[in-house]
């Protein structure tokens, strides 16, 4: 048997095989271990392989074949099913030990960065040394696992339920988005040209040690460094480590400061964070993150919290965007023209209103002309070109406009300018997908996800492409994760979840998801509803959707087989979707 230390544990005298197997049985038998059957198989497999001395063979490839019945063509870059399930199991184990297993003598964990489980006695003192990372090379080449759902103010975790459920968080998200995005909807659709670029700057101040007995200074420094690294993955903001004494002009000084304090009491760690507007000291956002150090080691805690902080602050529709969207709505200054165009794009992205499409696209064109080496506006411009194809916008434009080729060309330009820009890779993924280069699309999506898994637009769109490519289970899980972590826009990924439910034959859930979407301007929303109503035999409702499509996107139904094949890659999925349309009375050409 591999020792607990070799498996990532911290006891020189690890539990024996019988003790570990007994603990595994207790976990698997507990109602508090929330994992599907395949997750239980996953946990049992990695434990037994480790006990048998075969831990070195616990790679994504072997697990995918043995647990998930993948064939020899399995590619971890394009199919992150193993990472997703590993994350789910880690969360399941964390819940088990916090709820049902507090008195258990044996602790089983699966450290991040590897699939080899760790076994230790619960009474063992925790070490601040990093866990073993045998799979570091493999881990770097695979897309990171989806993060857990964001946290409430008290720091408690929301559980990541299976993708087919309708999370209660959705209802809360609708309320939150209404409040948060109201200023964003008013973001300017035109701003005067200017030869500068003023993305929002965030000063990350060193987190303070506020424990009474000290001892948390190293963790405070580690959390500061981790947060800086995660924030820097978002190209729409700039991270600054120096204060006003750095010699910056007043106009160049960061508008925001991120502050925090670390407190440790026994086995509990709390990070208190706040984002402050430096001009007047007002607190824009604050949150607490609590962790139990008996369940996660220090490095896991630092990485996990840093990802959550970065996602809350810097993702599209996050705290910084919300603050600046309100500023733009009041009086957009000329010196942040490029950033105002970015805000305008995300404003349009909320409801995909075609009336705003042309103005946003024109703004981004001007930005790329003035700032030809700035990758992000090229990426967003590519997405607006693509919308003309996938949402049937600007159908009055001449064919010579070549919107799909323009989408591909501008996405490639964005990636050439910055290969580590997740938004550029996202644009390349989508443009390549609709061009028919699915392999290129999924590789670009995997690369974008690897660059910044904290970006919910990246993870959601990547999950959508995986699902439409036939990897429904993995793709739908990623979309569900994106919905849980994304404060907006409400509707877009709900359409994807409606498709997920439709493809498994749960038409009632599909209708519920589609009705939550409420993208009244989006033809694909209406097309999915049409298929769902047809499959349920709700012909009156189906007729209303057909009438809307004929009035607003007539080419979609005229070329329905081609349009469906453009999105659903597997013939069996195409036939299933077309059957719903046929049941709704839509004539499907051979």
Question: Helix, strand, coil shares of the chain as percentages rounded to 5?
Answer: 55, 10, 35
Q: What is the per-residue pLDDT for 289?
A: 93
DSSP string, 500-545: HHHHTT-HHHHHHHHHHH--TT-HHHHHHHHHHHHHHT-HHHHHHH
pLDDT at residue 347 in the model:
83
Give the residue extent of every domain in the chain.
Answer: 17-141, 196-315, 491-590
Residue 387's alpha-carbon distances to 11, 96, 260, 495, 556, in angstroms, are: 56, 45, 41, 16, 14
Residue of 178, 194, 177 lying closest to 332 (CA atoms): 194
CA dist 557 → 394, 516, 522, 540 (Å): 17, 23, 14, 18
User: Which residue positions in the chain have pLDDT lower than 50?
Assistant: 1-11, 124-197, 245-246, 329-335, 399-400
CATH architecture of 491-590: Alpha Horseshoe (1.25)
Angle at 269 between CA 264 and CA 272, to 5 degrees: 95
> How far apart (Å, rounded) are the C-alpha atoms in residues 144 and 141?
9
The pLDDT, as a whole number, for residue 247 is 52
What does residue 437 show for φ and ψ, rounded to 5 degrees? -90, 75
Asked whether the CA dihedral 420, 423, 426, 427 is positive or negative, the reply is negative
Predicted structure pTM score: 0.70
What is the predicted pLDDT for the residue at 198?
63
N- to C-terminal Cα separation, the chain:
61
Query: For the purposes of burial, counting CB atoms within 10 Å of the CB of 150, is it exposed (0-12), middle (13-18) or buried (19 or more)?
Result: middle
Tell me the CATH architecture of domain 196-315.
2-Layer Sandwich (3.30)
**Alpha-carbon gap, residue 282 to 189, rounded angstroms:** 28
pLDDT digits (tens, 9 = 90+) for 272-324: 999 999 989 999 999 999 988 877 778 888 888 999 999 999 988 888 888 87
**Closest of 68, 348, 55 to residue 184, by C-alpha:** 348
β 208-209/256-265 pair status: parallel
Q: What is the pLDDT at residue 138?
A: 35
């Amino acid at each position: 048997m591999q020792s607990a230390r070799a498996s990532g544990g911290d006891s020189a005298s690890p539990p024996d095989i019988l003790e570990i197997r007994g603990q595994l049985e207790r976990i698997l038998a507990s109602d508090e271990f929330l994992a599907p059957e395949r997750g239980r198989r996953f946990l049992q497999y990695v434990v037994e392989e480790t006990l048998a001395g075969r831990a070195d063979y616990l790679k994504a490839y072997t697990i995918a074949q043995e647990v998930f019945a993948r064939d020899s063509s399995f590619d971890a870059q394009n199919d992150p099913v193993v990472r997703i399930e590993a994350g789910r199991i880690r969360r399941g184990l964390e819940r088990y030990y916090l709820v049902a297993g507090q008195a258990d003598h044996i602790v089983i964990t699966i450290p991040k960065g590897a699939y080899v489980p760790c076994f230790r006695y619960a009474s063992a003192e925790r070490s601040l040394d990093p866990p073993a990372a045998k799979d570091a090379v493999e881990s770097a080449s695979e897309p990171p696992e989806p993060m857990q759902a964001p946290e409430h103010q008290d720091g408690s975790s929301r559980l990541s339920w299976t993708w087919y459920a309708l999370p209660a968080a959705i209802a809360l998200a609708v309320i939150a988005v209404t409040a948060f995005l109201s200023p964003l909807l008013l973001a300017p659709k035109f701003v005067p040209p200017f030869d500068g670029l003023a993305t929002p700057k965030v000063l990350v101040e060193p987190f303070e040690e506020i424990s009474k007995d000290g001892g948390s200074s190293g963790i405070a420094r580690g959390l500061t460094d981790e947060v800086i690294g995660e924030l820097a993955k978002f190209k729409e903001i700039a991270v600054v480590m120096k204060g006003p004494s750095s010699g910056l002009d007043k106009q160049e000084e960061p508008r925001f400061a991120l502050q925090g304090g670390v407190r440790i009491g026994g086995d509990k760690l709390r990070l208190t964070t706040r984002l402050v507007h430096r001009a007047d000291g007002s607190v824009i956002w604050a949150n607490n993150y609590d962790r139990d150090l008996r369940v996660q080691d220090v490095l896991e805690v630092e990485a996990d919290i840093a990802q959550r902080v970065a996602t809350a602050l810097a993702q599209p529709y996050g705290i910084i965007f919300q603050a600046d969207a309100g500023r733009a709505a009041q009086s957009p200054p000329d010196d942040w023209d490029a950033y105002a165009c970015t805000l305008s794009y995300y404003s349009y992205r909320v409801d995909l209103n075609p009336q705003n499409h042309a103005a946003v696209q024109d703004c981004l064109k001007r930005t790329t002309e003035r700032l030809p080496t700035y990758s992000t506006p090229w990426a967003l411009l590519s997405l607006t070109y693509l919308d003309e194809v996938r949402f049937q916008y600007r159908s009055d434009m001449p064919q010579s406009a070549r919107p799909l080729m323009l989408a591909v060309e501008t996405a490639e330009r964005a990636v050439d300018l910055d290969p580590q820009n997740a938004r550029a890779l996202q644009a390349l993924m989508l443009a390549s997908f609709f061009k028919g280069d699915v392999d290129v699309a999924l590789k670009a999506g995997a690369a974008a996800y690897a660059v910044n898994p904290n970006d919910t637009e990246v993870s959601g769109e990547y999950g959508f492409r995986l699902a439409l490519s036939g990897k429904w289970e993995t793709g739908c899980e990623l979309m569900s994760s994106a919905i849980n972590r994304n404060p907006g826009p409400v509707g877009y990924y709900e359409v994807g979840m409606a498709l997920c439910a439709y493809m498994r034959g749960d038409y009632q859930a599909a209708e519920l998801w589609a009705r939550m979407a409420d993208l009244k301007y989006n033809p694909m929303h209406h097309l999915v509803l049409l298929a769902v109503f047809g499959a349920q035999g709700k012909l009156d409702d189906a007729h209303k959707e057909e009438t809307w499509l004929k009035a607003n996107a007539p080419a979609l139904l005229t070329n329905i087989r081609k349009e469906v094949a453009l999105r659903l890659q597997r013939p069996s999925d195409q036939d299933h979707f077309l059957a719903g349309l046929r049941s709704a009375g839509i004539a499907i050409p051979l």
